[in-house]
Amino acid sequence: MYTQWRITLFSILAKSSLATNPSAHTISHYEVPLVNDLAHQRYNISLAIGNPSQEFNLLFDTGSADIWVPRANSTGCAPNCPTSFDPRTSSSIINTTIPYLAIYGLTPDPANSVTGFYYDDTISVAGLPSVQNATFAVGNVPKPLFTQGNWGIFGAGSPYQEALTRPPNPHAPYTPIWERLALAAPSGTKKMGVWLNAQNASQGSVQFGGIDRRKYVGELLDVPVLLSDGLSEGWRVNVTSVVRVTPDGKKKALTAGNFSLDFTIDTGSPNMYLPTMLYDAIVEGLNATEVQNGAPYVPCSLRTATSGSLEFGFPTTKKAKEVSIRVPISEIVYPPGYPVTVPAVPDRNGEKLCYFGIVPTDGPIRLLGATFIRSAYLVFDAEKQVVSMARTRWRVR
């Protein structure tokens, strides 16, 4: 959800639990938990910075590349801020003196800016071996972002999304921490397998440098990442078809045969952000409301397995072969009362209404967020410049 400058979004991320006491443990070698805070629409990863260590739970975000943590007495919360990072207490920290600036919003808004400086220090992610001289930022959190729950991000995107590479004084990119972890894993390759699990699951996982073959069904196929001047500026891929599938398996195409449109795959975004024309085709017959609290609402009865599904098609590196990810409608509809930080929408004609995780947008930024990603197993591969995809297998222990 949080991608700086060109690919950027700060949607209605509800106010997060700002606790900073991570229960860090690995699932398997270089595979660590992503904790599902569905009530606040986020997946959190734990890390510790410095000596002695200072611990945080950060939003895991494939839509950006920097790790940043909040500075003490940020203007958005002073004098009663949650736990913040204090560079003065770490014996191993180095101030690079390079300024940090990240601006958030579908239309970047200076009021939604995190400003600070880059540092190098020791970082340990969820109990994995420490990364020495790891680059991260410490930033001031303004009131709009604090109110909406932005209290630190673990970026897992491309180096060319790093804030320091942007004008007016661009610097050379550094190797993101997720890539350093992947290179330290047994495979030694710059890739990570991401599995968000089902909507009602307590956690998913990310495996740095590896693939967990238990967590998907069928063939894992490579979808090319779209490049700009030969460089990746995010996990942006083309979608070539969207189909509605009824409970009895009948299919209706919602896009034309020549449809092709780019989307960023963004774990930091809670929802899918689709062109209005496609959104209208999806919600037809779902009895959806107008957008309220940042999203439409639909009857809660759609949270059943008999509501059908949507099937998203992607081109692959195999000639004339497409990979399709089927997303149940029931996984897109949030439970009653969720997210907890937006006002309730009144029942309509005695029927309970629930938040629907697809939002119309006609801007240049289109996102496939958590309401899509939960139905896929994704391998983000920075060496091959692909996102490998397969249909997920939920609730694997």
- Enumerate the active-site residues: 61, 266
Q: How many CB atoms lie within 10 A of CB 179?
A: 22
Distance CA 154, CA 65 (A): 8
Distance CA 196, CA 191 (A): 16
Strand partners, 56: 47
| Tokens coding 288 | 């959806």
Cα torsion angle, 173, 380, 123, 101, sign: positive
Distance CA 334, CA 342 (A): 13
Distances (CA, A) of 346 to 138, 167, 191, 353, 355: 41, 47, 45, 7, 12
Strand partners, 217: 391
Asked if 255 and 278 touch (Cβ cutoff 8 Å), the reply is: yes
| Terminal Cα-to-Cα distance of the chain (whole angstroms) | 28
Helix (H, G, I), strand (E, B) or coil at 60: strand
